[in-house]
A and B are shown apart, each in its own frame.
Chain A
């Protein structure tokens, strides 16, 4: 029995070895790994992110590739589990011989991947906003992790500044999913900025992960009657929170994260009328004339419109990588890492159209984001582009 098990293992090892050699033998191809949420509650985002990346790869390959080589994109699902994210990162590096990885925009997943990336030394360009992903502690930077959008500190603070300066709010409450560092890191930044600049956060309430009933917490918030409520959760959770707040007769203005610009937010909240007046932050303004050409290309290629910002994550990340590989002059992980660290004025679609990374934090320098407002007719209106 044991002997049979051993021989099965030996054969599988052999098969893997041969398969591995097969891939590494394709030296004329540069393998970029992508990790995304292809299933689960955020699958729509993940699938569009992959579409965005595929579109960029197709464009680059059609134009002759990078350093004369074609790019091969391999995308894996992390199935909603940080552990699975780590596992597919290893697989991309060790089995598929990816030289660089893009993804994810889930802070919990990249927080789990970061220490492994430091060991395996293949860089990751992510959209995970939690600052600890690139700087695990002050003064220390994860050499192999990069962020390609404003961090949660910047995004939380931008929303707080907008609430104070533009909306003239004096008081606020935060309702935060404790199990999601995406939410907690933004909420902390919002709270700190709001309190430090003349406002007052009356309630800072953490809710357990997976909760669907927020009435108890909202009733408490209602009693302290703040001008606004900040709910930096994922779309559907935030939708339920807005719905329940309105059910309790709370009229305070709701502010949210870059997750609220999508239909699932409205669906979970129940109707356009319920979300009307909600503000959120986003890196991209879909109606920006600068993007019109891209939007049309995407829709033509996939037969569906751009719905989520993740399309831009996927697309821009591939172009940032392309620039890094060209700068490095060689498709090797370490060289790409160094080039990524010195990313400067690379053309992208998000923000104001370029990205520069800070070598000390591995995060963008001065990357702006839009503040949007949901209208009663179900459209989102860009209010202003704000710099951190």
Chain B
């Protein structure tokens, strides 16, 4: 279980997260929704140790260190949005980069096979530069790369950014598939409806604070959520 207790993040005078408490049960998908600047990415980055924070973050009962390499080694990997694949490296090298913390030939080969079976497209493009790929392919690569460290918890940031609705559905289905293989997922997604549909639970962040939580279905049916994030009142 991922547990955040009273987590605060500051950037100078701006407080990005205020006393955030949050839990993600093992092998579930939790969606984090909120407007731009609500603190969603800051929360993921705090867990990944790349922004300083106060408070406690633990995974499976153990406090996570603040050092990114140790966090990845502890089984917590982040999939940043697709533009953050290494476009100066080939697809294959991107996957190697994902395996940085467990650099052994056999494990790399095993994990690459696993990723290729999940995303056959990547296999075709293995020797191609990641910079030449389409948005959807980059997103797949980002997720595949995230799996290379054999994470038990995957933090996924905006997987649908820049994707068509069809591709978004496809990518979210893949995330569900990854989850069914036993990986816990904390998902930040601008498309609140689609992410809540696949999530077991959801949290709503507003101005750095958790303002609401519930199961995916509860949040989907909440009128306030519908108006603010699901575009039910007509401004899609």
The answer on direct contact between A and B (beta carbons under 8 Å) is: no
